Amino acid sequence: MRIDKYLKVSRVIKRRTVANDACDAGRVTINGKVAKASTEVKVGDIVEVGFGSSKTKFEVMCINNSTKKEDSKEMFRIISDGGL
């Protein structure tokens, strides 16, 4: 799954266009490498997202094409919380 779609489906970022913009600005990394919006994400990847002056790092636990709001937190495990 593309990282911009994953961020939207997991509700880390509320809109896919915002996720796309964050990737274009270099604020999203996967396993330490800056990610484009089209970069594929896999289970076990470590993703870091910059929100203003804080950063949140999490591990991808599962990938679903769609999910309920209550179940979205099960898609990732927070490693370091910068405001998520």
Q: What range does the domain containing 18 cover?
A: 3-80
| Total domains present in the chain | 1
Q: What is the pLDDT of residues 11-59, one digit of tens each?
A: 999 999 999 999 999 999 999 999 999 999 999 999 999 988 889 999 9
Which residue, among 46, 55, 45, has the nearest Cα to 22 in the 3D structure? 55
Q: Give the whole-angstrom CA distance, residue 17 versus residue 81.
A: 23
- CATH number for 51: 3.10.290.10
What confidence score (pLDDT) does residue 24 get? 95
Q: Are 34 and 3 contacting, i.e. CB atoms less than 8 angstroms apart?
A: no
Which residue, among 11, 12, 9, has the nearest Cα to 48 in the 3D structure? 12
Q: Are 80 and 63 contacting, i.e. CB atoms less than 8 angstroms apart?
A: no
Q: Give the confidence band of 66 by pLDDT, cuts at 50, 70, 90.
A: confident
Q: Give the whole-angstrom CA distance, residue 29 versus residue 37.
A: 10
pTM as predicted: 0.89
The larger pLDDT score, comparing residue 4 to residue 80, is at: 4
